[in-house]
Amino acid sequence: MTVDRQRVERLTRELLEAIGEDPDRPGLKQTPSRMAELYTEFFSGVGEDPAAPLAHTISVTRGPAPDTLPSGAVLLRDIRFRSVCEHHLLPFAGHAHIAYLPGEQVVGLGALVRVVEVLAARPQVQERLGEQIADTIAEHLDTRGVLVVLDASHGCVTMRGGRQTEASTLTIAARGVYADPVARTELITLIGLSAGSEASRDGSAL
């Protein structure tokens, strides 16, 4: 789905008028077009298939490196992401940590990053975003278990209401063997050592 840039510009002008501003004054004259460009970027994942990046897989037994079969999980930490909360259309941003226990097929690590990017580039809530990432990987990749941990700061918490600038939100989505808390203990420990998680807690992710 392509963002209707002209409509965004028109509605931005209406919004500026609704708050008592003059959209034709010098400081705001380019704001509608800037908002159209911003929304085109922020919501580029609407209608896009998040599973598409997982279509190209590599056989661990018949591929170019058959002696590299992982004996444990593949863990990709500190994937920076940003999204827009659907409740107030304010940004939230932080780090995603993804682990999966491979079967016979593995996927390029960049594909996992792309799954996060596609699903984050639409109106979201963090809880659903993590679940959608986990479902996409579990359903479209040969895996025995998936774990997705998101650690993010939310504009609706840091910029409005109580304005808790130090607050961050941590969510966990697990599938397969990692639905068992004991089975995912090692991964949670490894993720906890992440420098990126500390960065999101100090608010630098926004």
Q: Which residues are catalytic?
A: 85-88, 126, 154, 156
Distance of CA 188 to the CA centre of its chain: 18
Closest by alpha carbon to 51, among 132, 146, 106, 172?
Answer: 132
Length reported for the chain: 206
User: Which own/partner pairs from 30-37 qualify as long-range (CB within 8 Å, at least 24 positions apart)?
Assistant: 32/8, 33/9, 35/8, 35/9, 36/3, 36/5, 36/6, 36/8, 36/9, 36/12, 37/5
Closest by alpha carbon to 157, among 200, 128, 95?
Answer: 200
Q: What is d(CA 111, CA 147) in angstroms, rounded to the nearest whole number?
A: 16
Nearest-5° Cα angle at 131, 130 to 136:
100
C-alpha pair distances (Å), 175 with each of 52, 92, 130, 135, 172: 20, 24, 11, 8, 10
Q: What is d(CA 6, CA 174) in angstroms, rounded to the nearest whole number?
A: 41
